[in-house]
Structure 1
Amino acid sequence: MSPIVLSKPEPGEALDVYLPVSDQAVSAVLCRTDLVGVQRPVYYVSHALHGPELHYSRLEKIVYATAAKKLAPYFQGRAIHVLTDQPIGAVLRTASSSGRLVKWALMLTQYAIDYRSRLAIKGQALADFLVECTTREIQPPVKEDPEAAWWSLATDGSSSKKGVGGGVVITSLEGFKVYYALIYQFSPTNNEAEYEAFVNGLQCARDLGAEYIRAQTDSALVVGQVLGDYEVNGERLQAYRDLAIEKLNFFRAYTVCHVPRLDSADADILSKLAQDALGHMSKIARILVIPRHSIHRLPVPPIQPAEETWISDFMEYLQHDRLPNDPQRARKVKLMAPRFQVQDGRLYRRSYGGPLLRCLNSFEADLVMNELHSEMNKLHSDTCTRLPGVSW
């Protein structure tokens, strides 16, 4: 059998793309069809998945392989036929696709790509071989260490006309159980309630000192999306899935599994009692009030107040060519603008042959002056000097 030799494509010649995927690797093979109808490989690329990439759905992995940067030079100036058994074209044209799919779709719209069903094996055999070899190079997943301090976590959340609530049961290495009743001060959907119990349960376990966690829930959707077996639809569930993975990565190792509701009866009872018997719950469980959706994190307040008007006036004019509405201020800005410049989102004043002078608002100026006077007091000096490189 003759060895496989990469073929050179002709300018403007159409190419076929085969995209096999596995749980741990993706690959892509570009082929051209010669004059006698034989497919010749042109280029190939393979990638071992790591971290969050392992949780991509099968369809996301295929699109991820299609959007590989190394394929871009071969996509330019020619027709590309992507042969796959997945409905990539329909998904990429859907506005409700996940954020990463929309990002990849925008990257691929600049090329003349036609998505077709794969009818024959041909080049797919080579692509499958590549992804298989890539998978072999990946180290096998780490097995559970029987000597590790594994904690257990069971969660359940519910949302119905009767009310909303969640339950969390954490079991330590010694078998001691800690119960949490979650009180939602908002109205989540049932899937969001399950996610809220899951992510808050993970946070509680981490706060108690758990480093190895076995998490279980009766929500097949939560488990499937976290493990990457289910496709995530909607921005809110996508945010919840990303938050859950972020919480899981706090642990040194973790497992996530789906269990029947009977196997998580304690968490289920807690979620129900949190709605109906809150007064009695405080005697057997810790009450955890959730004021808002966990994905709606409070913005970090600014360390300093808004910049003074004169700074914003110069930045608006220098960056966007917009003058203030006040004619007197506009005249002043236009006259003095050549003395200033914006760099890295900050306003600086040009000095004569020296460094740029940083423009400070009143809050920043007070900090600088306080620090300056503090240092001066230590030196028992009454002389006030101006800091080099600072203007206010």
Structure 2
Amino acid sequence: MGAMLGQRDDSGKKERAIYFLSKKFNECEARYLVIERTCCGLVWVTRRLRQYMLYYTTWLISRVDPLKYIFESPHIVGRVLKWQVVLSEYDIKHVMQKSVKEESCDEGNNEEQEWEMYFDGAANMHGNGVGVVIVSPEGKQFPVAIKLEFDCTNNITEYEACVNGLRAAITLGIRCLKVFSDSALIIHQVTGEWRTRDVKLIPYQELLVDLIKQFKVVSFHHLTRDKNCFTDALATLAAMIQLDCGVHVQPIQVEARSFPAYCLNVEEDREEYPWF
């Protein structure tokens, strides 16, 4: 198999080759079906180009769609499950897949203007939590952090974050919303590109369909992990904090300082001491 990693120039029209890879299949891999050999090659490429692909969206150009086969295969054998785990870390899109059409919103009405929502979930040894940040058209942020006091998988926390974020947006009277998350699995399942087979996730997806109907326009977009740090911090805080029932925590004010605290700690009336 052969692969090439390319990048478009600033004009967006010309492509420049960055990396070439080639591999000879072993005897076992050579007996795979054509689609399975494509999947095997894609996984092999992602492992060697991880530093290029991890923080960016990658367009996959191939004659067949290996992502659809891997994430929608009715027969999950050992190697397919292994490929799922490896590829779920990346944001890869097959160029032949249909893109979601977005309608425009009326900019004259504040409720009709487009808002943004970022969500993330956290599941660790301390607990489970979700974090959501809703951003108004003027840039005002509305953070939401919820502690989940029941057993969750990572994917369940992501769905809980999305559901509770949409409910908060509905409460605010938002009609047009762009949703962002670093979970490629959740985003592609919500948009219908990937099929949901986990019985624990199917009710969440059905609930999301009902919530989406309450918006005039809503679209879902994948976000790299480094651009979703704040919601990740909120989710981690909610998972780790210990609260009594009914306790309301005031919003956290985050300030920015460009100098350390001791810089202005000077007593002006004591000139005998040197200044630093």
TM-score normalised by the chain length of structure 2: 0.50
- Structure 1 stretches of at least 4 aligned residues deviating more than 3 Å after TM superposition: 140-143, 277-281
Matches within 5 A, 1:178-327: 178-277=142-241, 282-284=249-251
State the SS of the aligned residue for 1:192.
Answer: helix
2-side partners of 1:233 and 1:168: how far apart?
26
Q: How does 1:25-174 map to 2 (within 5 A)?
A: 91=74, 141-145=101-105, 147=107, 148-174=112-138
Post-superposition CA distance 1:371-390 (Å, at most 9, x none) = xxxxxxxxxxxxxxxxxxxx
User: How far apart are 1:174 and its partner, in Å?
Assistant: 2.4
Displacement after TM superposition at 1:237 (Å): 1.2
Secondary structure of the 1:235 match is coil
Give the 3 Å change call, closer, same or farther, for CA 144–186 of structure 1 in structure 2: same
SS in 2 for 1:179: strand
Question: CA 1:91–1:228 in 2, change beyond 3 Å: closer, same or farther?
Answer: same
RMSD of equivalent CA atoms: 3.2
- In the superposition, relative to structure 1, how do residues 177 and 223 fare at CA in structure 2: closer, same or farther (>3 Å)? same
- Call closer, same or farther: CA 1:171–1:278 in 2, change over 3 Å: farther
Distance in 2 (alpha carbons) for counterparts of 1:222 and 1:263 = 17
Native 8 Å contact 1:274 1:281 kept in 2: no
Unmatched 5+ stretches in structure 1: 1-85, 93-134, 286-392
- Are 1:154 and 1:170, in contact at CA under 8 Å, matched by a contact in 2? yes
Q: Secondary structure at the match of 1:234?
A: coil
Separation in structure 2 between the aligned mates of residue 205 and residue 278 of structure 1, nearest angstrom = 26
What's the CA shift for 1:281? 8.6
Work out whether residues 151 and 212 of structure 1, in 8 Å CA contact, stay in contact via their aligned partners in 2.
yes
- State the distance in 1 between where 2:227 and 2:248 align: 21
Q: Distance in 2 between matches of 1:175 and 1:281?
A: 25
In the aligned structure 2, how far is the partner of 1:239 from the partner of 1:284? 31
Give percent identity, aligned residues only: 30
Rg larger in structure: 1
State the one-letter code of the partner of 1:166: V
Task: Give the TM-score, by structure 1 length.
Answer: 0.36
- Tell me which of the two structures has the higher relative contact order, counting C-alpha pairs closer than 8 angstroms and 6 or more residues apart: 2
Task: Name the CA distance, whole Å, in 2 between partners of 1:278 and 1:173.
Answer: 34
Structure 1 contact 181–281 (Cα < 8 Å) conserved = no
Q: Structure 2: which 5+ runs fail to align?
A: 1-68, 76-97, 253-276
Change (3 A) 1:141 1:156: closer
Q: CA shift at 1:143, angstroms?
A: 3.2
